[in-house]
Amino acid sequence: MYEKYFGLTSAPFSIAPDPQYLYMSDRHREALAHLIYGVKNNGFILLTGEVGTGKTTVCRCLLEQLPDDVDTAFIVNPKVTENELLSSICNELRIPYRQRATSKELIDELNTHLLETLEEDRRTLVIIDEAQNLSVGVLEQLRLLTNLETNQRKLLQIILLGQPELLDTLARKSLRQLSQRVTARFHLEALNKDESRQYIAHRLSIAGARGNFFRRSAMDSIYRISKGIPRVINLICDHCLLGAYAENQAVVSPRIVKKASKEILLDNSKFSRITITIISGLVGLAGLAIAAYLFMYVPLGGYSDEIEDNNQNLIETPVTNVSEYSEVNTPISLVTGHSDKGLAFDDLFALWGIYINDRNLPPCKAINPIGLACLELTSNLQEITNLNRPVIVHLSNALGWITISSLNKDNATLIAREREYSVSKEELNQSFDGSFTVVWRMPPGYQRPISLGDRGADVDWLVYQLSILEDDPNDKTTGHVFDKATSEKVMLFQKRANLTANGIVDPLSWIYFNSIEAINIPLLYQSESNNPPIGED
């Protein structure tokens, strides 16, 4: 539902155990190494972990790495009798047996099959998921299956995946013989805070995202609520992106995380294993959850007043989405900004869904490879309103650098130090010293401002944007020349956008052209139209 909105190729936070989405933390790598070691050494392997920590996904990753000479039986419904377990293994391995076969007959059929595969130099692996649900009798039957062997090696390898309760069961005195046969065991812990952030960024990247749509503070909230359990992180993130889509937001804030977690966790202040179990049941009701979530998020009405604007053609439209970060305005004197402008870029980039890991590059250089650039300007709050982009501003009276993330008629939302402030625009105007930095999306092939006589991918993109304004968005051909007719259209556009009408498409002009479609571009406010029309005066 939200994939197209965020430019994704697939849903990044599905709870299906897809190995391509596996984020290999240090503990996941170690768990996989234990599984591989156990398989190579014909062992009995035990992998445990809390609900949703990634046991099944790690195991499926193992399956993708197994050589062709390994036959596998994957048992996903372990609440069975001894006889039903043997039947399930035979079914998975395609071993024929007669109806109502006894356990002895099933074991004989299995043993015959294993000896035949041994002659073909093949191995057989049985994997049982949710093994904490196995009865003591079934576990004892598994021990007996490990007795199937030749003088050289075991005929059957077994991997048990289960929750911590499985360890308690195996610790029973009656199962000590089975426990002693485990040759490799590993307990998979939840992710820590840094790994949780990396996990979210990894899954977004696999799904085709060009950046991270979650603010750092939002990711920290997700970690705190999820306890670092990947399955719960997936559920929360999926609902967060749905919420951001419903609110027409380009990035997930802590406020959206709070709403999403309340929807799926009921009460995250009492988060526990019981809650996780409830979540597993709710997954089957995903359709109802999405419908309820959209009902909760989609506003029933927008802000009806108009933003005051000197340029009537450009901005005078109703704001349909107003930020609600704070119910009461904060006095500007209590706002704490960054003393280092470089740190303010983290806040601004988060609104674009970008998280920069490389701190060696200047922030504005680091975003160039993904088609973004910075523009330094000096003007006033009205010009920022006209641009309709989040900006970094410097506030006087030692308040520091801060990001303006949204505007309405009377108030502005500011972000700094992982906090959000709602302040009056009047107070902001008094503290704003006029300098600000805005991020803008470069057109394809951009090298420099373009003008009469130029050609290239950026000129082709410009012609296409102009065709959209003329209500004829069909000109996607290439090889265009920036001719006199194009120059005249550009000057008309610039005039109506209250820009210098010189026919040169510079970064400031591109910002306004980018508003035509505004795909994956964060805005200060949503309006019916952000663009000056092209046509007759």
Model confidence over 43-96: pLDDT tens digits?
A: 788 899 888 888 887 888 888 888 888 899 988 877 788 888 899 999 999 999
Percentage, residues of the chain above pLDDT 70: 83
Considering the domain delimited by 3-11+192-297, tell me its CATH architecture. Orthogonal Bundle (1.10)
Side-chain half-sphere of 309: how many Cα atoms within 13 Å?
23
Q: Which of 476, 468, 458 is nearest to 529 (CA)?
A: 468
| Residues linked to residue 423 through DSSP beta bridges, in sequence order | 412
Output the pLDDT for position 519: 64
Query: Locate tokens 């009995």: which residue?
Result: 44
At residue 51, the pLDDT reads 83
- Model confidence pLDDT, tens digit, residues 372-406: 899 999 989 999 999 999 999 998 876 789 999 99
Which one-letter amino acid corresponds to residue 18? Answer: D
pLDDT in the model for residue 105: 92
Answer whether residue 302 shows pLDDT above 70. no
The label of the residue with tokens 């964060």 reads: 522
The H or E element that residue 391 is part of is strand 391-395
pLDDT confidence band for 474 (50 / 70 / 90): low
**Continuous segment of H or E residues that includes residue 423:** strand 419-424
pLDDT for 533 equals: 42
Give the pLDDT confidence score for residue 92 in this predicted structure.
92
Q: What is the mean pLDDT of the chain?
A: 80
The residue ranges of every structural domain in the chain are 3-11+192-297, 26-188, 305-537
* Predicted pLDDT of residue 200: 92
Whether 28 has a pLDDT exceeding 70, the answer reads: yes
Q: Is the pLDDT of residue 130 over 60?
A: yes
User: How many whole angstroms separate alpha carbon 143 and alpha carbon 158?
Assistant: 10
- What is the mean predicted confidence (pLDDT) over 283-300? 37
pLDDT, greater one: 88 or 326: 88
Tell which CATH classification among 3.40.50.720, 3.40.1080.10, 3.40.50.1000, 3.90.70.10 matches the domain 305-537: 3.90.70.10
More confident call, 420 vs 297? 420
Q: Where are the beta strands (DSSP E) in 209-285?
A: none
Tens of pLDDT, residue by residue over 190-246, are 999 988 998 998 899 888 887 778 988 899 999 999 999 888 999 999 999 998 888
Q: How much of the chain, in percent, has pLDDT values that exceed 90?
A: 27
- Residue 123 clears pLDDT 80, i.e. is over it: yes
Give the separation between CA 83 and CA 377, rounded to whole angstroms: 76
Q: Which two tokens stand for residue 338?
A: 């960054």
pLDDT score recorded for residue 536: 41
Q: Is the pLDDT reported for residue 272 higher than 80?
A: no
Q: Would the pLDDT of 358 be above 80?
A: no
Q: Provide the 10 A C-beta neighbour count for residue 374.
A: 18
Q: Contact, 110 vs 95, CB < 8 A?
A: yes
Contact 432, 440 (CB under 8 A): no
CATH code of the domain occupying 26-188 = 3.40.50.300
pLDDT value of position 450: 94
* Model confidence at 314: pLDDT above 70: no
- How many residues would you count in the chain? 537
The least confident of 206-220, 360-374, 494-508, 523-537 is 523-537
pLDDT of residue 113: 92
Task: Show the tokens assigned to 337.
Answer: 């900004």
Please state, in angstroms and rounded to a whole number, the distance separating the CA atoms of residues 218 and 255.
Answer: 8
Q: Which tops the pLDDT comparison, 18 or 124?
A: 124
User: What per-residue confidence (pLDDT) applies to 388?
Assistant: 92
CA angle 173, 178, 184 (to 5 degrees): 120
Comparing 29-38, 313-322, 425-434, the range with the smallest average pLDDT is 313-322
For 162, how many CA atoms within 13 A lie in the half-sphere containing its CB?
A: 25
H helix runs in 136-208, sequence order = 136-145, 165-170, 176-180, 193-206
From the centroid of its chain, how far is CA 99? 49
At 270 the pLDDT is: 41
Q: Could you report the per-residue pLDDT of 232-246, keeping only the tens digit for each?
A: 999 999 999 998 888
Beta-bridged to residue 416, according to DSSP, are 419
- In the block, tokens 């998975």 appear at 92
Residue 313 pLDDT exceeds 50? no
Does the structure show a pLDDT above 90 at 503? Answer: yes
